[in-house]
Structure 1
Amino acid sequence: MSQRLLAWLLALTALSISPLAQAHKPSDAYLNLQVEGTQIVQRLDVHLRDLDRELVLDRDDDGRLQWAEVRTRWDELQRYTAERVRLSADGQPCQDTADGTPQLDEHTDGAYAVLRRHWTCPAGAQALAIDYRLFADSDASHRGLLRLSHGNAAPQTAVLVPGAATAALPLNAGAAGAGPSSFAGFVLEGIHHILIGTDHVLFLLALLLPAVLVTGVAGRRESALQWRPMLVEVLKIVTAFTVAHSVTLALAVLDIVDPPSRWVESLIAVSVVFTALDNLRPMLAPRHRWRLTLVFGLVHGFGFAGALKDLGLGGGSLAASLLGFNLGVELGQLSLVALFLPLAWWARSTRFYQRGVLVGGSSAVALIALAWVVERVFDVTVLGS
């Protein structure tokens, strides 16, 4: 086996077992801007978990944030976020005043601080710009989800990447169509979401690890046609996952079905454990694994829904964001398959793949996911924050 192949396989194995950090919902903040002429009312919802990481709100270090610990630091929270979320119009800074009333709100993944400000932009200004740098230095995965409203007009949405320039946003309802495309932004957010979603990635990789071992007719010589049974198996798995999570993603975002987030995340971890164990000691016939994917894919769809659901969209804005986000998830999923499949197919007949990658990788995935199950069911920390 060549050194190049060994390096690729080691990288593949590391991809399977490296993410020891918490596999919770990715870090999002929700920025709502209500525009009336040059007056803007801001509501910024930021997860207490993220703020605690930056400002050490849990002073007694007992692993639980008390209301008193948050309330007494409210002025500091206001200053911290105000320095990292700034508005300007036509190149001139908008002036702001803080609403200092402490407030918390529950989102699908826990408690968020609600920080309100009032902005006054220069008279006659037309184009609004947002300088968004929240957690830019500490969390590359963080995203701000923007909802911009003008009176009763349909809101616009955009995904804010910390430190990146934003396109001009309209300051009046008549120019509302001139803003950035929420569809394109949520396509990128869907790709980003699945690529940093450790539990979703490990579930997909655990499904694909044995797929490359599916062969054609026994005893037949290796030929170019022998990859077809493997491709059929992969296609069934990917299609089942796509159909299942698309259905429940839509049901959750549309508020038709709303299961508790804690149990959704716990079942996602269980799905990773079961799939990895099935690689080690098959409990299902290989031809039935797509059905396993279909069932567990329904659970993963609820897990994808958190960001869109918390944004509070409706009508056309929701439809565009939902479609773009789901398309992004599919593109991210296909990129993982495209990266994994050629390497795994090339190495499938080696002992290193069959023992080191399939058995060793599945064992590591099962252990990591089992730790997630304990964390999510019992609300304890096993793998660290």
Structure 2
Amino acid sequence: MRTVLQMLGAWLAALALLHAAPAAAHKPSDSYLAVQVADGRVTGQWDIALRDLDFAIGLDADGNGEITWGELRARHGDIAAYALARLAVQGDGVACPLQADGPQQVDNHTDGAYTVLRFSAACPAPPQQLQMTYSLFADIDPQHRGLLRLDAQGSTRTAIFSPENAAQRFDLAAPDAWVQFRDYVVEGVWHIWIGFDHILFLVSLLLPGVLVWQLARWQPVRSFRTAFVDVLKIVTAFTVAHSITLSLATLGLVALPSRLVESAIAASVVLAALNNVRPLFQGRRWTVAFVFGLNHGFGFASVLADLGLPQGALVLALVGFNIGVELGQLAIVAVFLPLAFALRRTVFYRRVVLLGGSLLIAALAAVWFAERAFDMTILGF
């Protein structure tokens, strides 16, 4: 208990050292589509990251590394043309031409500034079924995703567009709550798989799971059961911790600035990796997973905040996302643990995988911490 309290104190002290201003959250490229179908009209708002648009069409005219309001306003027509050419809408199988509406706007998400593009779709008749085809940045960033929130018939549904799932069809009748649940499970799995900092934190805790620290050195465990129980404690502690803070943040009971959250996540990866080099919490790594898992939950919550939650199925969506995160973690463990156990007696595993891998993870996470805490760009991802 004393160790846990010390870790909590250190974590809170580290957060207190950071300025509370927002900063880039260093998450993968996403855009946010909010589409409404009401009174036979289809309207929408599309939030697209300025950093992504700058890479695609060039917004920084003077090349000084900053996108000014004047530079952005001057390219409003180009932005609208570029984006709307990569989104197609059909109502009941008939094309609905898109047009940009309203002036240029900018909004801030958890990972920086986004342009706000308002548009409308001219469907010839009130649609009963909507088909959307999304190809934004598909030619330059295969990891990019479009996160859709569709409001129709007084209900909200969500979807994720990707190069593999670019065209999707939606019946505009009230959606099945279990379909929404499934969508959020998929989103949870996807988020943990593309959340490099979350994965590296988990891997840092798993690397010594097939070893034990004895006589000032790492020794292989004797049985798979021992390794499995150790890993089970770690994954369970991490899951319980991030579930607590994810729920609190999503329900609006607790809120922390993105800069603090993302910086602390990077710091947790550094500490977890360095613990493999010089163990301080050997046999108690589950406490590390729990304490720092609390902060990772706030990171997960930022994804749900940007995606939007259906108010009519709030709890179901929250549970679905959490289950998805857990399934994503278990898939990683299922691949990692048997391989690590098979290699645990080799010098290669202890020297290259454990020691070398941990040092590499710590170095990478230290760079992330510097970028997030001091609002600077070194690696850019």
Question: What's the TM-score once normalised by structure 2's chain length?
Answer: 0.87
Q: Which residue of 2 aligns with 1:31?
A: 33
2:110·2:258 contact (CA, 8 Å) conserved in 1?
yes
Change (3 A) 1:82 1:180: farther
SS of 2:363's partner is helix
Q: Which residue of 2 aligns with 1:252?
A: 249
- AA aligned opposite 1:324: G
1:169·1:179 contact (CA, 8 Å) conserved in 2?
no
In 2, the alpha carbon distance for the partners of 1:317 and 1:149 equals 13
Specify every segment of 5 or more residues in structure 1 that has no aligned partner in the other structure, as ranges.
1-21, 217-221
Which residues of 2 match residues 33-72 of structure 1 at below 5 A?
33-72=35-74
Larger strand proportion of the pair: 2
Matched, 1:182 2:180: yes
In 1, the alpha carbon distance for the partners of 2:245 and 2:39 equals 39
- AA aligned opposite 2:151: S
Alignment partner of 1:77 out of 76, 79, 82: 79
CA deviation string 1:267-310 (max 9, x = no partner) = 000001001111101122x2221111100001111111122112
SS of 1:60's partner is coil
2:50·2:114 contact (CA, 8 Å) conserved in 1?
yes
1:23·1:198 contact (CA, 8 Å) conserved in 2?
no
In 2, the alpha carbon distance for the partners of 1:127 and 1:359 equals 55
- The runs of at least 4 consecutive aligned structure 1 residues that moved more than 3 Å come to none
Q: Which residue of 2 aligns with 1:317?
A: 313
In 1, the alpha carbon distance for the partners of 2:319 and 2:228 equals 27
1:210·1:279 contact (CA, 8 Å) conserved in 2?
yes
In 1, the alpha carbon distance for the partners of 2:315 and 2:177 equals 17
In 1, the alpha carbon distance for the partners of 2:168 and 2:88 equals 14
1:252·1:309 contact (CA, 8 Å) conserved in 2?
no
2:205·2:234 contact (CA, 8 Å) conserved in 1?
yes
User: Which has the larger displacement, 288-297 or 57-66?
Assistant: 57-66
What's the % identity of the aligned pairs? 52
CA deviation string 1:186-211 (max 9, x = no partner) = 22221111111111111111101111
Q: Which residue of 1 aligns with 2:191?
A: 193
Alignment partner of 2:276 out of 265, 276, 279: 279
CA deviation string 1:342-361 (max 9, x = no partner) = 11101111111111111111
Change (3 A) 1:162 1:181: farther
1:242·1:330 contact (CA, 8 Å) conserved in 2?
yes
SS of 2:174's partner is helix
1:214·1:229 contact (CA, 8 Å) conserved in 2?
no
Specify every segment of 5 or more residues in structure 2 that has no aligned partner in the other structure, as ranges.
1-23, 215-219
Q: Which residue of 1 aligns with 2:370?
A: 374
Q: Which residue of 2 aligns with 1:169?
A: 170
Cα distance, 1:313 vs structure 2: 2.7
User: Which has the larger displacement, 154-163 or 53-62?
Assistant: 154-163
In 2, the alpha carbon distance for the partners of 1:234 and 1:103 equals 48
- AA aligned opposite 2:364: I
Q: Which residue of 2 aligns with 1:158?
A: 159
Cα distance, 1:28 vs structure 2: 1.7
In 1, the alpha carbon distance for the partners of 2:139 and 2:322 equals 28
Cα distance, 1:59 vs structure 2: 2.4
Q: Which residue of 1 aligns with 2:201?
A: 203
In 2, the alpha carbon distance for the partners of 1:331 and 1:342 equals 17
Q: Which residue of 2 aligns with 1:99?
A: 101
In 2, the alpha carbon distance for the partners of 1:277 and 1:163 equals 38
Change (3 A) 1:33 1:183: same
In 2, the alpha carbon distance for the partners of 1:362 and 1:215 equals 16
Change (3 A) 1:113 1:124: closer
Alignment partner of 2:261 out of 260, 264, 268: 264
1:241·1:297 contact (CA, 8 Å) conserved in 2?
yes
User: CA RMSD, aligned part only?
Assistant: 2.2
1:26·1:197 contact (CA, 8 Å) conserved in 2?
yes
